[in-house]
Amino acid sequence: MKNQITPCLWFDNQAEEAAGFYTSLFRNSKIENISRYGKEGFEIHGQKEGTALTVEFQLNGQSFTALNGGPHFKFNPSISIYVVCDTEKEVDFLWENLSESGSVMMALDKYDWSERYGWLNDRYGLSWQISLGKIEHTVQMFSPALMFKGIQHHLAEEAVYYYTSLFPDSLVKHILRYVEGENDTAGTVKHAQFTLRNQTFMIMGSSFPHQFEFNEAISFQVFCDTQDQIDYYWNKLTEGGSEGQCGWLKDKYSVSWQIVPSILGELMSNPEKAGNVMLAFLKMKKFDIQKLIEA
């Protein structure tokens, strides 16, 4: 669904394999579309012709994109995927399969917030939080969870209100704060839940200096129907941040976004035109819809 804000997962060259693995684990899941590198732009992207460029897939009806971008960025727990399961059987099944050849951050156990919960990094390094709970509390099965830690911790609450001010159909659902006696700064954000375009996101806070930072390994694709929408999100999200190539940017918290024309997939699906379209957008920072159509 192109109205969704879609998590984009950066792989070296395992995008197709990973998408197949994930869709095999979650119910109501499927691979939707695979675009492939052509010979055009090899001197920039360095990928062999015919290699998967992007793999668009759904997990329980939610959209994800896997991207083969080379070895430049690696997953870390700064952004994880929070998964709500309605049975212990499902929690255990996902835990067993996702943890295989991966690593455990928090053991599968009973915690204050869930009767059965665990946090792991899978075989590709992607971070998952698996929790027994009720879907109606999050509306959806999968929610991106951003960790604001160390010196960024005090910006967590600001970020919640900043993001919800930018997108339509947004709402701050709750902010849970640390209290006296807990192992962090009282009054600061422990956990927050909010919606952007009617999709649930989470922010977690920790003042401890964990050894990971936001990077491009996980970015959020914002699909836009018009150039005005592209201009709006690009201008807003680059305030205090930085511009990247091919529609990528970093916001003022160093979270990565892609501001993408909704028509791009259609243009790239035409074998006769895809090469010229790729050459055009490889030269762009902010996308220009008219130039893509002309290409």
CATH architecture of structural domain 5-74+215-294: Roll (3.10)
CA distances, 3 to each of 19, 63, 169, 291 (Å): 21, 10, 11, 23
Rounded average pLDDT over 105-130: 97
Check residues 231 and 49 and name the one with the higher pLDDT.
231
Measured in degrees and rounded to the nearest 5, phi and psi for residue 261 equal -65, 135
Rounded average pLDDT over 83-88: 96
Assign 252 a pLDDT band (cuts: 50, 70, 90): very high
Q: What pLDDT, in 10s, does the model give residues 265-283? A: 888 777 677 778 878 888 8
Check residues 76 and 288 and name the one with the higher pLDDT.
76
Quick one: three-class SS letters along 232-270? HHHHHHCCCCEECCCCEEECCCCCEEEEEECCHHHHHCC
Domain map of the chain by residue range? 5-74+215-294, 79-206
Q: Give the distance, in angstroms, between the CA of residue 39 and the centroid of all CA atoms in the same chain.
A: 28
Per-residue pLDDT at 193? 97
Closest to 249 (Cα-Cα) out of 240, 237, 260, 262: 237
The three-class DSSP label of residue 203 is strand
Per-residue pLDDT at 188? 93
pLDDT of 224 over the 70 cut: yes
Q: What pLDDT, in 10s, does the model give residues 177-202? A: 999 999 899 999 999 999 999 999 99
Rounded average pLDDT over 227-247: 96
- Lowest-pLDDT range, 105-114, 165-174, 209-218, 275-284? 275-284
For 115-137, give one letter per residue: b (16+ CB within 10 A) or e.
ebbbbbbbbbebbbbbbbbeeee
Rounded average pLDDT over 51-69: 94
- pTM, to two decimals: 0.93
CB atoms within 10 A of CB 59: 20
The three-class DSSP label of residue 117 is strand
Rounded average pLDDT over 8-35: 96
Contacts with 241 (C-beta within 8 Å, 6 or more apart), sequence order: 249, 250, 251, 252, 253, 254
**How far apart, in whole angstroms, are the C-alpha atoms of residue 80 and residue 157?**
18
Per-residue pLDDT at 1? 45
pLDDT of 170 over the 90 cut: yes
- Are 58 and 294 contacting, i.e. CB atoms less than 8 angstroms apart? no
Rounded average pLDDT over 79-107: 97
Q: Which CATH number fits domain 79-206: 3.30.360.10, 3.30.720.110, 3.40.50.300, 1.20.1300.10?
A: 3.30.720.110
Check residues 41 and 230 and name the one with the higher pLDDT.
230
Per-residue pLDDT at 280? 83
Per-residue pLDDT at 48? 78
Assign 40 a pLDDT band (cuts: 50, 70, 90): low
Per-residue pLDDT at 243? 96
pLDDT of 45 over the 70 cut: no
pLDDT of 38 over the 80 cut: no
Residue 156 structure tokens: 């967590």
**How far apart, in whole angstroms, are the C-alpha atoms of residue 273 and residue 112?**
54
Q: What pLDDT, in 10s, does the model give residues 197-208? A: 999 999 999 998
Closest to 259 (Cα-Cα) out of 267, 244, 248: 248
Q: What value does the mean pLDDT of the chain take? A: 92
